[in-house]
């Protein structure tokens, strides 16, 4: 009984997670559809829209076989963070990773 119950909960959780991931994917495409670049130039808008769509497809395709719920949640949180940064700063590209700054004196 316990095994069947945990399987049921696992299936429900994965179905809910699947819906969350699909919702996030659709959200990205809606953002890309409405995207306006900082420069306002048509070619920049088109280039940035295409980047958003390509980046989403690439990353979601790369992670489509993940089964660990914690890892899936982590990827979703990273995606949400990138969306928030892109919308706030109006820049679709990922924020550069911090690097070790060494100064030569």
- CA 65 – CA 88 distance, rounded (Å): 31
Percentage of the chain exceeding pLDDT 70: 79
Mean pLDDT of 5-32: 80
- Rounded to 5 degrees, what are φ and ψ at 42? -55, -45
pLDDT digits (tens, 9 = 90+) for 30-78: 999 999 999 999 999 999 999 999 999 999 999 999 999 999 999 999 9
Per domain, the residue ranges of the chain are: 17-89
**54-63 CB burial, b ≥16 within 10 A, e <16:** ebbeebbeee
């Amino acid at each position: 009984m316990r095994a069947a119950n945990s399987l049921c909960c696992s299936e429900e959780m994965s179905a809910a997670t699947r819906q969350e991931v699909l919702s996030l994917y659709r959200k990205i495409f809606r953002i890309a559809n409405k995207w306006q670049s900082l420069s306002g130039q048509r070619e920049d808008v088109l280039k940035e829209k295409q980047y958003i769509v390509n980046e989403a497809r690439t990353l979601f395709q790369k992670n489509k076989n993940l089964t660990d719920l914690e890892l899936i949640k982590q990827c979703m949180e990273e995606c949400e963070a990138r969306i928030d940064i892109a919308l706030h700063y109006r820049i679709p590209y990922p924020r550069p990773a911090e690097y070790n700054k060494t100064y030569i004196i």
